[in-house]
Amino acid sequence: MAGAAQHRGAFWSEVWRYRHFYLFISPFFLLFAVFGLYPLGFSLYLSFMKWDGLTAPVSVGLENFVMLFSDEMFYTALWNTLVIGLMYVPPMFLLAFIFAGILNSKRLHLRGLFRVGVFMPCITPMVVVAIVFTLLYSAESGLFNYVLRAVTRLFPGGPMAPIPWLESEAWSKVSVALLLVWRWTGYNMVLMLAGLQGISDDYYEAAIIDGATRWQRMRHITLPLMRPTLVFCGLMSLIGTVYMFDEVFVMTQGGPGTSSTNFGLYLFNLAFMDFRFGLASSAAYTVSIAVFVVSLVILKWRRPATD
Amino acid sequence: MCGKVLKQGLMYAVMLAVAALFVFPFYWLLISAFKTKAQIFVLPPQFFPDPVVVQNFADVFRATPIARAFVNSCVIAGGHTLLALFLCSMGGYAFAKFPGAPGRDKLFAFVLGTMMIPAAVTLIPVFIVLTRLHLVNTYWAMILPGAANAFGIFWMRQYIAANVHDDLLAAARIDGCSEFGIYWRVALPIARPALAALGILVLISSWNNLMWAFIVLREKSMYTMPLLIYLLHGELRTPYGMVMAGGLLVTLPLIAAFLVFQRSFIQGITVGALKA
């Protein structure tokens, strides 16, 4: 009894001794509690409520989740997210990998200029970029169609018909994907360059002595050792595609129809256009948990292969 | 020998072409800002504005509160960044340099765990909180959320733990420096590179933020640059000349800063990769 009290006294005197520690972290935790923790719990609570933000919330049990999984638009949004991701991530990875290789070869000049050019899209306001691309994509007077027609005019069959980049359901995802490749290649390039620079030259020298071909060195040294970097880039792309917003909000408004509505825009519309706070919260939770699980699966591949 | 030179020359040509392709949309933004709406849509496209028109800039300053929006953007991005840097560096310093504090490791593990929370989940409740605190349509609605950034505290802790030596702190303590003074005058100056990288990351995402501005800023006098341009673009019969002029004005400061401090920028944008 006395021992416990003494122990407790010792604990509090330790806390007092380290009071500056708690003082220093308290502003962070205060703000974090208000804008991070409380919202996290409140959002979970809202998942089981029907609420428009004005009238009193009504408890509806699991109805939001039932409604979510019977909402055709939910599946459309997930499908669009997947298709856009599959359209832009592979070419972006390939380009970023090649560009990183260029930046990593020390014999080349102009690398600084190249890096600045390719990286520049990553820092600019998406709203401006999306508007510029809207102009470039314009079917009648856009530069892309102008150039395509000018080039195809030289071939038999004459100039091709203008592509309805943003006007047709078939092309809208392609247009978004192209914008994303342009926007994020530089980011992945820089990350992959850091990965390449982390690989010691010794491996390559030993492999060359052993007579390994260029392809064998790529296959058995570079790719296995780049695995953590590639996994990280993959994770960022996954998260970025699911929660992407500005690109589609500005350039396509999710259309034509619903052809380019990804999950991020779907969620935004549920919450701040339809004011279905309960349904939106359940959608956010459901997809966030799914993304989290997929991330864990991807992270399993993080460790560099040792074969 | 000749083949090698040719190959190298070809390589440079490809590199220049690729870089030009990536920079091209910025060029298009630049020249479109100096075209009339008719010139923007004319065929064949004008690769150089003929004539060069500066009317768009006069128009956008006359017809929209863009000067005010620029000030708003500066206050919001600056305030948000300074607040985030202060909170994260002070917390990171505490986590790095008070190893004996009871509960330290548990608290830090907790912070790390919250890095996984996507903003999508907290979007609605944060809006509700701001509404209840009567902060909607104020600078605070843009400055406060996200300033307590879990990644930021992690990043500052790593840097301070590795670069600020305990002897230095002990010496300052013996000299009678206050605990806050030790953080402010000893640890912070050493952590400058980490502050710069984190600051750039936070500053850019704050400056470019459209969605949150769209949700919480209601009155014209509160608009940020991205929101103003978005709404201008959404107007009936979009005034493209003004949109492009305004777009150039919101993009230019970032590009100028990027060209000067490109190394810090690239490091700043990619600090998250540290986790990999």
User: What CATH number does the domain containing A273 carry?
Assistant: 1.10.3720.10
Q: Is B125 inside any structural domain?
A: yes
| List of chain B residues whose C-beta atoms are within 8 Å of the C-beta of residue A24 | 90-91, 93-94, 98, 183
The model's confidence at residue B245, banded by pLDDT at 50, 70 and 90, is very high
Per-residue pLDDT tens digits for B2-47:
778 888 888 889 999 999 999 999 999 999 999 998 898 888 888 8
Whether B25 sits inside 8 A of A121 (CB atoms) is: yes
Percentage of chain B lying above the pLDDT 90 cut: 58
The predicted structure's pLDDT at residue A28: 92
Q: Is A236 inside any structural domain?
A: yes
Residue A122 and residue A40 share a domain: no
The model's confidence at residue B276, banded by pLDDT at 50, 70 and 90, is very low
The total domain count for chain B is 1
Q: Is B161 inside any structural domain?
A: yes
Residue A145 and residue A7 share a domain: no
**Residue B88, pLDDT above cutoff 70:** yes
The total domain count for chain A is 2
CATH number at residue B258: 1.10.3720.10
What range defines the domain where residue A204 resides? 69-299
Residue A127 and residue A27 share a domain: no
What range defines the domain where residue B107 resides? 60-240+247-275
**Residue A73, pLDDT above cutoff 70:** yes
Residue A133 and residue A23 share a domain: no
Residue A212 and residue A83 share a domain: yes
Per-residue pLDDT tens digits for B217-243:
999 999 999 999 999 998 888 899 999
Mean pLDDT of chain A: 89
**Residue A188, pLDDT above cutoff 90:** yes
Residue A123 and residue A159 share a domain: yes
Minimal Cβ distance to A146: which of B8, B45, B146: B45
Residue A127 and residue A270 share a domain: yes
Q: Is A263 inside any structural domain?
A: yes
Q: Is B255 inside any structural domain?
A: yes
Q: Is A238 inside any structural domain?
A: yes
Minimal Cβ distance to A288: which of B43, B121, B128: B121
* DSSP characters over chain B: -HHHHHHHHHHHHHHHHHHHHHHHHHHHHHHHTTS-HHHHH-SSPPSS-SS---HHHHHHHHHS-HHHHHHHHHHHHHHHHHHHHHHHHHHHHHHHH-TTSTTHHHHHHHHHHHTT--HHHHHHHHHHHHHHTT-TTSHHHHHSTT-S-HHHHHHHHHHHHHHS-HHHHHHHHHTT--HHHIIIIIIHHHTHHHHHHHHHHHHHHHHH--HHHHHH--SGGG--HHHHHHHHHHSSS--HHHHHHHHHHHHHHHHHHHHHSHHHHHHHHTGGGGG-
**Residue B275, pLDDT above cutoff 90:** no
Residue A77 and residue A16 share a domain: no
Mean pLDDT of chain B: 90
- Residue B227's closest chain A neighbor by CA? A127
**Residue A141, pLDDT above cutoff 60:** yes
Percentage of chain A lying above the pLDDT 90 cut: 53
Residue A127 and residue A12 share a domain: no
| List of chain A residues whose C-beta atoms are within 8 Å of the C-beta of residue B16 | 110, 113-114
Q: Is B38 inside any structural domain?
A: no
Q: Is A159 inside any structural domain?
A: yes
Q: What is the mean pLDDT of residues A119-129?
A: 92
Q: Is A169 inside any structural domain?
A: yes
